[in-house]
Amino acid sequence: MGTIVAAHAYVNNEVAYVAWDIDARIDGCLGFEVVRVYLDEQGNVAKRPDGADDRVTCAAWVAFKGQRNPHWLPQTTSLWPVQKLSWRDLTLRKRRNEMRRRPDEVHLRYEIRPLGDLKPGMQAASDPTPQLVEINKRDGNGRPIKKADGSYEKIAVKAYEGPPRPLGYLGPAVASNPVHVTRKRGAFESTFTNGILAAQWLRNVLLEDGVKQPNELIEMISNPSNGIRKYLAGDVIPMLKGFINAPGRFLVALYELEDEELLELLLANKDKLRIILANTGKVGDAWDVRNAHARQALVDAGVEIHHRMFNNSSQIGHNKFVVHIPSDGAARCVFTGSTNWTATGLAGQSNNALIVRNDAVAAAYVTYWERMLEDNATLEAPIEFDDGMPDNQQSKKFRRFNETPSLVPIGDEASGHSVEAWFSPNMQSRRKGKATPPDLREVYRLMRRAEHAVLFLAFYPGQSGRDCIVGEAIDIGLKDQKLIVTGAVSSAQAMPNYVAGKKNDPDDEDDDVDAVSPHTFEEANVSIVRASRIDDRQLLADFGAEELTAKKVGAIIHDKVLVIDPLSEDCVVVLGSHNLGFKASYGNDENMLIVKGDRALAEAYAVHILDVYDHYRFRAVEAELKRQGKKGWSGFLNVDDSWQDGYVNRTKGALTRYFAKG
């Protein structure tokens, strides 16, 4: 009889990732119960006001075969256990039944316990009898029925359909290590947006009134007071507000500035700011349409603003950073990451944001900002901001300055922790060539030194994974097949097995006839997926149609992050605005941080990557099976213990086993 031999938990400030391993098949195991246990400052189990232990059994939505969850209501893992050896605790901060978020700055651990069909002599798990719950009553067209007072008419339904399946415990609970849910890790403060992803709860929100309007989602996430926006944006907006509302001066460099709440934040602090604002992309025949409103508002308010207008498709000012210079002479710090200052950047995509509280790192950004300002004088100013400027590009002097990074030790000298700040463009050629840029040479060098795992999220670093970290990671992973390479991308064209088609219209980027766009790439321990949604009709019965994107939202995975060996003292985190491909280094204003040796930060970013990857992996696999005309998953939990087969014979679960060791 097998047992759980290891269990380890990892958290950032949004979600937790828990992994465990077994030494052999657990006979009759139908999955695992996962319980979140809150701890006090002494590490003991915390108490609720009524004196009971503060324990929460994690939520589950997928029923056993023979049961149904037609209203997509949560049960618990005591009722519908986890049939794999890992778990993402998505309700760590996000409640399952309301938009109000749970607090951060808590300590907790997880307990994992195997479950099987209840037999005499076994300790019973939760009573599986479905409870009666209230949901909105709907008319024949699926619209909720409103009462005279404006509230919705309710009906009582069973929480799920089908025969209850009593479960019992097959062994004792195994506790994970204690973890601290927090944004703050030494010199760093990190946070992550929740993004739209592809999720049933979002569909249910949009259909709350029975109608899904074409622009309903973008209107929700553009409204600063909307609860959905706050829920999806997570801690990014509060963190940024706290940063900019501090006394002192600020240097700002932005690609996009379209979000009204962040524009108001800048206007409220207008006397403290010096802003370099680049142009957005082309809309129709005009450039910078999306930034036009904010740009004019800042000009009208008398803000010191410098217009960095490339207005062509070869160069973009892609930065999104702010440097804080305190008025009392205290250490400077910098806010950076992948999050554009738009509603979609904040609440429509997966993104990350980081504050580095280190004067020397901030100094490197100050120098870069000042070099951009000097370089701006070499650009021809458009007569109108929306005019095209095909010849505008960064100067050779500016590019040469960016060829050398700033290397800053972090923390105790003996720790060997450091931050390496790179800026772009750092190649003399305007257009992408074959030579590897210096920033990516260093990234590739670190990737080739990986001993255990390379994890990443990317939007569109390069077509077919060429000239970017995707292709490099695959090459490394196929040469060393013990190395775990795990990643997710947003664009179909970024997949390594993408095959471009013929273009009927060379000027139409979306016109790609007969292109082959796989959803997955799997070989050895290399697994790369792209953002996909559930659209298989067999699964839709319970899952419901998913939202993958919406009009004007664009990229779903917008992160540009790479983590190498997150559980090692030699761990590496790469982040910033840089898309992690040649194009960014050759053509764009970009910033990139390479953080070496900070395991706490590496674990936080690894959890974010695993969250997004795991979310899309199942969807991508199902979409790929459908593309190939093959049968996919049934949509329900197995009713026997055969789901363990791949873990027992070690044909699956390498990633889980790595994280289970801790």
Among 141-145, 311-315, 551-555, 619-623, the range with the most confident prediction by mean pLDDT is: 311-315
The string over 428-460, giving b where at least 16 C-beta atoms fall within 10 Å of a residue's C-beta and e elsewhere, is: eebebeeebbbbbebbbebbeebebbbbbbbbb
Q: How far is CA 163 from CA 65, 67, 125, 490, 571, in A?
A: 10, 7, 16, 40, 49
| Cβ 28 vs Cβ 624: under 8 Å | no
Half-sphere exposure (Cβ direction) of 406: Cα atoms closer than 13 Å = 21
As a whole number of angstroms, the distance between CA 95 and CA 56 comes to 12
Average pLDDT rounded to a whole number, residues 158-177: 97
The DSSP H or E segment spanning 555 is none
Average pLDDT over all residues of the chain: 90
As a whole number of angstroms, the distance between CA 615 and CA 193 comes to 14
The whole-number pLDDT of residue 422 equals 98
Task: Assess whether pLDDT exceeds 80 at residue 95.
Answer: no
> What is the residue extent of each domain of the chain?
4-124+168-181+634-661, 184-623
Six token digits for residue 182: 């927090």
Share of the chain above pLDDT 70, in %: 90
As a whole number of angstroms, the distance between CA 182 and CA 180 comes to 6
| Confidence tier at 504 by pLDDT (50, 70, 90) | very low
**What are the tens digits of pLDDT across the range 193-221?**
987 654 555 655 555 555 555 466 778 88
Average pLDDT rounded to a whole number, residues 167-183: 98
| Cβ 557 vs Cβ 612: under 8 Å | yes
Q: Kindly state the DSSP code that residue 490 receives in the 8-state scheme.
A: S
Residue in the structure block whose two tokens are 């149609």: 545
Strand partners of residue 522: 527
Which residue type does 191 have?
A: T
Predicted model pTM = 0.94
Average pLDDT rounded to a whole number, residues 151-168: 95
| Cβ 341 vs Cβ 291: under 8 Å | no
As a whole number of angstroms, the distance between CA 573 and CA 598 comes to 8
Of 68-77, 151-160, 494-503, minimum mean pLDDT range: 494-503
Q: How far is CA 540 from CA 72, 394, 489, 519, in A?
A: 11, 50, 24, 19
Backbone angles phi, psi at 277, to 5 degrees: -115, 120
| Cβ 202 vs Cβ 231: under 8 Å | no
The whole-number pLDDT of residue 555 equals 57
Which residues have a Cβ under 8 Å from the Cβ of 655 and sit 6 or more positions away? 86, 453, 484, 486, 525, 527
Average pLDDT rounded to a whole number, residues 305-317: 96
Average pLDDT rounded to a whole number, residues 115-138: 95
As a whole number of angstroms, the distance between CA 320 and CA 307 comes to 15
Which residue type does 649 have?
A: N
The whole-number pLDDT of residue 189 equals 98
CATH 3.40.50.970 fits 184-623, yes or no: no
Residue in the structure block whose two tokens are 């609970």: 173
Residue in the structure block whose two tokens are 């060997």: 416
The whole-number pLDDT of residue 216 equals 67
**What are the tens digits of pLDDT across the range 547-580?**
444 444 445 899 999 999 999 999 999 999 999 9
As a whole number of angstroms, the distance between CA 85 and CA 412 comes to 37
| Residue among 575, 579, 591 nearest 371 (CA) | 591
Provide the Cα torsion 345, 347, 352, 354; round to 10°. 90
| Cβ 572 vs Cβ 566: under 8 Å | no
The whole-number pLDDT of residue 207 equals 54
SS (H, E, C) 317-360: ECCEEEEEECCCCCCCEEEEECCCECHHHHHCCECEEEEECCHH
Of 97-106, 558-567, 577-586, minimum mean pLDDT range: 97-106
**What are the tens digits of pLDDT across the range 596-641?**
999 999 999 999 999 999 988 887 888 888 888 888 777 899 999 9
Fold entry, domain 4-124+168-181+634-661: Immunoglobulin-like (2.60.40)
As a whole number of angstroms, the distance between CA 241 and CA 245 comes to 6
| Residue among 336, 341, 334 nearest 353 (CA) | 336
Six token digits for residue 377: 């004088």
| Residue among 356, 252, 241, 330 nearest 294 (CA) | 252
The whole-number pLDDT of residue 550 equals 43
Of 29-43, 86-100, 234-248, minimum mean pLDDT range: 86-100
Half-sphere exposure (Cβ direction) of 382: Cα atoms closer than 13 Å = 20
The whole-number pLDDT of residue 505 equals 44
As a whole number of angstroms, the distance between CA 29 and CA 2 comes to 10
Half-sphere exposure (Cβ direction) of 264: Cα atoms closer than 13 Å = 6
Strand partners of residue 35: 57, 111
Task: Assess whether pLDDT exceeds 50 at residue 510.
Answer: no
Distance of CA 446 to the CA centre of its chain: 23
As a whole number of angstroms, the distance between CA 636 and CA 628 comes to 22
Crossing angle between the packed helical segments 438-448 and 469-479, to the nearest 10 degrees:
20
Of 19-28, 36-45, 495-504, minimum mean pLDDT range: 495-504
For the four alpha carbons of 428, 431, 433 and 437, in that order, the dihedral sign comes to positive
As a whole number of angstroms, the distance between CA 585 and CA 592 comes to 10
Task: Assess whether pLDDT exceeds 90 at residue 122.
Answer: yes
Among 265-274, 528-537, 541-550, 607-616, the range with the most confident prediction by mean pLDDT is: 265-274
Half-sphere exposure (Cβ direction) of 256: Cα atoms closer than 13 Å = 18
**Cis amide bond preceding 425, omega within 30:** yes
| Residue among 552, 597, 555 nearest 457 (CA) | 555
Average pLDDT rounded to a whole number, residues 340-358: 94
